[in-house]
Structure 1
Amino acid sequence: MKKAQLRIAFIIDTIKVEKWKHRVINTIENASYLKDFVVLNLSDKNEKIESSFSLNKKSFWYDQYLRLDNRLFRPNPNADELVALDKNYLSEFIQYPYDQKDYTSLQDRLRKMELDVIINLSNRNIDFSVLNMSKYGMWHLKLADNIHHLKKYDGINEIIKKKVTLDSHLIGRNSDNKEYLLFSTKSFVDYLSISRTKNAHLWKNSLFITRKLAELYRLGNNFYDLQPILADKELETKIHALPSLSHLLGHTLKTSLKLLSKKITNRYRFQQWILLFKFTDDFFINEHLESYIRIKPPKDRIWADPFPYVKDGRYYIFIEEMLFSDNKGFISVMELYKDGTFSKPKKIIENDYHMSYPFLFEHENNLYMIPETGSNKTIELYKCSEFPYKWEYTKTLRKGVKSVDTTFFEHDNKYWIFTNEKQIEGVSAHEELFLYYTDDIINGEWKAHPKNPIVSDVSCARSAGNIFFKGKRIFRPAQNCSKRYGYGIKIQEIIKLNEHDYEEYNINSIYPDWANDLKGTHTINSTDDLIVIDALVNKF
C-alpha cells in the first residue's frame, strides 16, 4: 500500500526569508513525500519584527559590533541573506496579521486543509493551543541562547561568555500536548566571529528539519513513539539579557590582541603534525603520554593520521604525508624498529586531490585501505598487491558527497563504515557522523542507517582511528573539534549498533596537555604491542 504524502505548513513572519529557511522550503517543494505545501505569513505590512526591543545604548553598540563582524568575516554562502519566495510552487500562501485577536477564520481554514504538520520558522511565540491544527502537531526550533526573542543576536551569548558549543533543538508538540525532542545538535563556536559561528549553525539547522520530515513520512503514526519525550521545562527557553558593554569591550579587545598576536607569532613559528609511539600491551587510554617517543618530520612537511600494521614481526606505520608547499596530502609508509629508529617514509598512493587517514583492514586474506579522499567527494577502496608499497584502486564505495575520515568496522556479520559528511556548502565536515552498512564489501549496496546522522556534535563526531574492542565492550575514538579542528580525542563507548539503532557515550578524553608545545592531537591507533598517536606542535 502506497504511503499517504504529507500536507505541510510553514509559518514565517516576513515577505522575504533567510536563505537557510529558503533552502528548507525549496527542498520540501521537491520532496517525493510532499502532497500539499502551505506557507502562512504572520507579519503585518508595516511592522518591524524586532521593534519590541527598545533601542538603547547597549543594543546600539552590539549592532555596530555585528556590522563590523559581518564586514570582516562575511560568510559565504550567507545563511541570513534575504531572498523572495516563489509562491508559484506553493499549494497556498496565506497572509494573516499576527496581532489579529480573532483566530477563528484561520482555524477553520487550517482545519479544512487536514494538515499533517505545522513548522514554525518565525520569530513569533505561537500559541500552540490555538494553532495546533495538524495531525502531528507543531514543530519549532530552539536556537542558541535566546536574547529578547531577537534572532539577530543568536550566538552572541555563547561567544561573549566563551561557551564550548552553540546548541539548538528541534522540538515537536503533538496533539497529546507533550513536547518531544526531535533533534539536537552541538556546533562549533568561533570566538573570533559571530557571523561565521551563526552561519554554519543555521545551514546545519536547514538539514535536520528536512531529515525529520523524511523520517515522519517513513514512520507515519509510529513517528512519536521513537522520539524522546521532554521532561517538564527541560528545555525551557530562558530569556537572556545582552551581555554587558564591559563584556563586549573585553571580548573585542581580547579578539583584537589575539589576531595581532597570531599575525606576529606566525612570522617566527609554524605548526606541524608529528607522530608519537610507545611499545606497550596496555592500549586503553594510556595516561602517560609524556613517555611517548616523538617521530619528527623535516620542517617542510607534516606526518599525521598514523595507522600501524604488523607483518612477520615487523612494524609499519601508514601515514598522511604533506609538503607545506603543495598543501595536498598523499599516503606514505615507514618501518618502525624496536629500538625507536625508523625508516624514511616512502610514498605509496598519490592522486591529484588530497589524501589522508589511511584506514587499514583485512578481508578474506587481503589487506585493504580506505584513505580519505573527501576533496574528490568519494570514498575509495584500495587493495594491497605487494606489501607494503604496491596498492591498486579497487572501487569507489560512495561518491557525490564530501566524506572525511571514513572508518571501517565489522560487527554482527555486517560491514559498517562511519564517515563524516559535508552535505551542503556552509556546513562543517567535523560535526556530523553518518553510518552505512552492507553484507558485501566489494559488490554490496551501502545502506544508510535510519538514524543518520548518528552523531551531531562538534566535540565527538569526527573519527580519530580504529574502533576497537576491550573484552566485549566496543570503543570509538573521536576527534574533539569544539575548540578547533584536531584539538583533542574522545573515547566513545558504543552501546547499540544495529540496522535500526545506534547509541554511544563518552568515557574518556585525551587533551594536548602533556607537553608545553602541543596544540592538538587527532588520531590514535594500536596493533599488537604498539600504540601510535599524532600531535600538532608549535615549531620556531
Structure 2
Amino acid sequence: MNKTKIGIFINSKLQLKENSDLIRWLINKENLAIEILVINNNSNKLINFFLNCILIFENFFSKSEELELPKYPNNKIILNDKNFFKKDDIENITNLNLDIIVNLTPENFKGEAFKLSKFGIISSNIFRKFQNQNNPPGFWEVYNNQPETNFSLTIQKEESTQNIIYEGNFSTQLIFSLNRKFSDNKKSYYLKKIIDFIIINKSFPQSLEKREDIKNILKTPTFIQILFYMFFAYSRILKKVIFKYVFLKKSNWHVAFSNENWKNNSLKNLNVIKNPKNHYLADPFLYKYNNKYYCFLEEYSYLKKKGHVAVYEINNNAYQRLGVCLQESFHLSFPYIFNFDGKIFMCPESSRNKEIRIYESIEFPLKWNLKKIIMKNVSASDSMIFKYKNKWWLLTNLDNSDLNDHSSELNIFYSKNGPITDNWIKHDTNPIFIDSLKARNGGLIFENDKIHRVAQSVGFNIYGKSFSLNQINQLSESQYSENKLYDVKPNFLKNIKGTHHYNGIDNLTVIDFCKDNYFNF
C-alpha cells in the first residue's frame, strides 16, 4: 500500500509537545508516513526565549506524555533563514516527494515552497478576525481579555490565495498556555478531517471561500508587553484563588419569571425563584398543561456535585415547587420538553453519560421514564428536538475534542422516522457554526409558524455571559440560516454577571442569571 507522505512544520520542540495528540494520530495512521519534521527557528531569539519560559512555567503542573517520533533520515531541519527557506532546504524537501505539508507555524510560505508538496500546504492559524495574524498564537487574545480566539484552517497551492476549509472561534482560556493548548486541541479535530479527506479522495475538500492577497504581517509582543501579561494574568489567578478559598466565593445561577410576553419583555418586573438550600437553579423551560404553567429546570446540588430536573408551577406572580421529576446517577440539566403522537417527552442534557436521551411523561409532571437513547458515545449538550416541514430536527452542541467544551459548535441532525429513533442523519454542513459567541443553545421559542433559537455567548473567562434571540429563516437538509433579533446582556438586575437561557409561552417568560455570592458556609 502506497502511503501518503506528509511533512510537518513547527516553531519549536515545545509546540511539538503541545500538538502531541495530532502528531500521535499522524504517526499511528497506517496509510500515512511522516517523512520530515521541520522546526522553524526564524523568530526574535530573546522574545521567543521569554515566551517559551512562560509556557514552560504555566505547563509545569500539567501532565503530558513524552512523544517519540519515528526515525527518518532527514526528520529534522532547523531553519534560521529570514526567508523561511534556504536553497538547500528546498532541494532536500523536494526530493522527499511529499503529498501534504502541515504548517503549524504562524508563518506563510513563499515562492518555491509551494512546489514542495503535491496537494498543497495546510496551514493552521490563530488570528484576530479581519486583522493581521498574531504571533505567538493564542497570546494576544488573553492579553486583551478577548472572549473568543479565532482560527482558520486553509490549503494553499500558490502564494497569493488561501482556500479556507474551516474557520471560526473558540472561547479564550484564562492564561496563554491554556489558550494555546485548548485551541490546538480543538483545531486538531478539523485538521484530521481535512487530512483524511485528502488521503481518501486525492483532492482538496470544498473550501468555504478564497482569501486573496495574503499579507504575512506578524505582531509579536515586546518585552514590556510580556511583563504586563505576566502581571495581569497571574494577578487574575491569585485573585480567583483568594476569592474562592478566603471569601468562599461561589457563582450561583438563579431563575426568574415575569408575566409579560417574551418578545416585548422589559425584564424589569421579574419574580425571582428562591434557590433551595445548597442548590442553584438554571435552564428553565415552560410547558402549558390543562391551562396551568409549569417550569422545568435544572436544580444543581452542591453536595452531590450534579444536577437533576425539578418542576415548579407558576400562577401569576406566585410559584410552588412541586418536586424533583427526574434524576439519574449522572448530571442532568437543560430539560427541553416537546410533544409527539399526543404524548409529552423530555430531552435533558446528559453529556456526562455520553448519550442523548428521551424520557416519556408517565404521570405529568412528576413521573418520567426513559423512552429511547437516540445517540450513544457522544458528548452532547443542550439538545432541542422539534418538527418542521415533515421532518424532525435535532439541534445540539457536540464536543469532539474531549475537552468538555460545548460552547463552540452547533450541529444539526434530522429524522424522517419521527423523534423516537436512533436513525438521525447529519446535516450536510455540520458543524453549522464554529463560534463560541453564538453556537450554544439557550432555549427555543415558537411563535405561530416562526421558530426562534436562543444562542449563548461566552465572555472572557465567563461561561454564559449573555445571549441573543435569533429567528430561524432557513432549515433544510443542506441549508441553515438565522437572523439575530436582539441581544440580552446581564444588566436587567443589580450585580449580576451572566445570563444564558430564555423561554416563553403566552404572557409568561422565564430567564436565568448568574450572581456571585460570598461566605457560603
C-alpha distance in 2 between matches for 1:528 and 1:217: 54
Moved more, 248-257 or 160-169: 248-257
Alpha carbons 1:145, 1:154 under 8 Å: kept = no
Q: 2:501 aligns with which of 523, 536, 540?
A: 523
CA separation of 1:169/1:211 partners in 2, compared to 1, >3 Å: closer, same or farther?
same
Aligned AA (1:203) = N
Q: 2:434 aligns with which of 447, 456, 462?
A: 456
Alpha carbons 2:169, 2:436 under 8 Å: kept = yes
Alpha carbons 1:415, 1:439 under 8 Å: kept = yes
C-alpha distance in 1 between matches for 2:148 and 2:93: 39
| 1:393 alignment counterpart | 370
Look up the SS of the partner of 2:251 in the other structure.
strand
C-alpha distance in 2 between matches for 1:346 and 1:165: 39
| 1:109 alignment counterpart | 95
| 1:379 alignment counterpart | 356
Look up the SS of the partner of 1:429 in the other structure.
coil
Q: 1:229 aligns with which of 210, 213, 225?
A: 210
Does residue 68 of structure 2 align to residue 70 of structure 1? no
Alpha carbons 1:300, 1:324 under 8 Å: kept = yes
Aligned AA (1:37) = A
| 1:53 alignment counterpart | 44
Alpha carbons 2:104, 2:125 under 8 Å: kept = no
Instruction: Tell me how far 1:65 sits from its aligned partner.
Output: 4.5
Counterparts of residues 146-157 of structure 1 (less than 5 Å):
153-157=136-140
C-alpha distance in 1 between matches for 2:271 and 2:74: 66
| 2:228 alignment counterpart | 247
Look up the SS of the partner of 1:458 in the other structure.
coil
Alpha carbons 1:20, 1:206 under 8 Å: kept = no
Q: How does the TM-score come out when normalised to structure 1?
A: 0.82
Alpha carbons 2:4, 2:199 under 8 Å: kept = no
Q: How does the TM-score come out when normalised to structure 2?
A: 0.85
| 1:180 alignment counterpart | 163
Aligned length, in residue pairs: 507
Look up the SS of the partner of 2:257 in the other structure.
strand
Alpha carbons 1:276, 1:295 under 8 Å: kept = yes
| 2:21 alignment counterpart | 23
Look up the SS of the partner of 1:55 in the other structure.
helix
C-alpha distance in 2 between matches for 1:104 and 1:489: 50
C-alpha distance in 2 between matches for 1:511 and 1:336: 25
CA separation of 1:322/1:248 partners in 2, compared to 1, >3 Å: closer, same or farther?
closer
Look up the SS of the partner of 2:181 in the other structure.
helix
C-alpha distance in 2 between matches for 1:165 and 1:356: 25
C-alpha distance in 2 between matches for 1:310 and 1:130: 64
Q: 2:254 aligns with which of 274, 278, 289?
A: 274
Aligned AA (2:195) = L
C-alpha distance in 2 between matches for 1:51 and 1:118: 18
Instruction: Tell me how far 1:150 sits from its aligned partner.
Output: 10
Does residue 275 of structure 2 align to residue 297 of structure 1? yes
Structure 1 residue ranges without an equivalent (≥5): 44-48
| 2:180 alignment counterpart | 198
CA separation of 1:344/1:427 partners in 2, compared to 1, >3 Å: closer, same or farther?
closer
Aligned AA (1:326) = K
C-alpha distance in 2 between matches for 1:498 and 1:128: 43
Instruction: Tell me how far 1:356 sits from its aligned partner.
Output: 0.8
| 1:170 alignment counterpart | 153
Structure 2 residue ranges without an equivalent (≥5): 80-84
C-alpha distance in 1 between matches for 2:78 and 2:453: 52
1:303-342 CA distances to partner (integer Å, 9 max, x unpaired)?
A: 211111001111111111122211211111111112x111
Q: 2:110 aligns with which of 99, 103, 127?
A: 127
Look up the SS of the partner of 2:442 in the other structure.
coil
Instruction: Tell me how far 1:42 sits from its aligned partner.
Output: 2.9
C-alpha distance in 1 between matches for 2:298 and 2:134: 45
Counterparts of residues 117-516 of structure 1 (less than 5 Å):
117-122=100-105, 125-127=108-110, 129-144=112-127, 153-174=136-157, 178-191=161-174, 193-216=175-198, 223-224=205-206, 226-233=207-214, 236-242=216-222, 244-245=224-225, 247-248=228-229, 251-252=232-233, 254-255=235-236, 258-259=239-240, 262-263=243-244, 266-267=247-248, 270-281=250-261, 283-284=262-263, 286=264, 288-338=266-316, 340-426=317-403, 428-440=405-417, 441-466=419-444, 468-469=446-447, 472=450, 474-483=451-460, 484-504=462-482, 506-516=484-494
Sequence identity percentage: 23
1:121-166 CA distances to partner (integer Å, 9 max, x unpaired)?
A: 35665335433354542211122469x9997x43232222222322
Alpha carbons 1:361, 1:369 under 8 Å: kept = yes
CA separation of 1:331/1:203 partners in 2, compared to 1, >3 Å: closer, same or farther?
same
C-alpha distance in 2 between matches for 1:482 and 1:243: 27
Aligned AA (2:240) = L
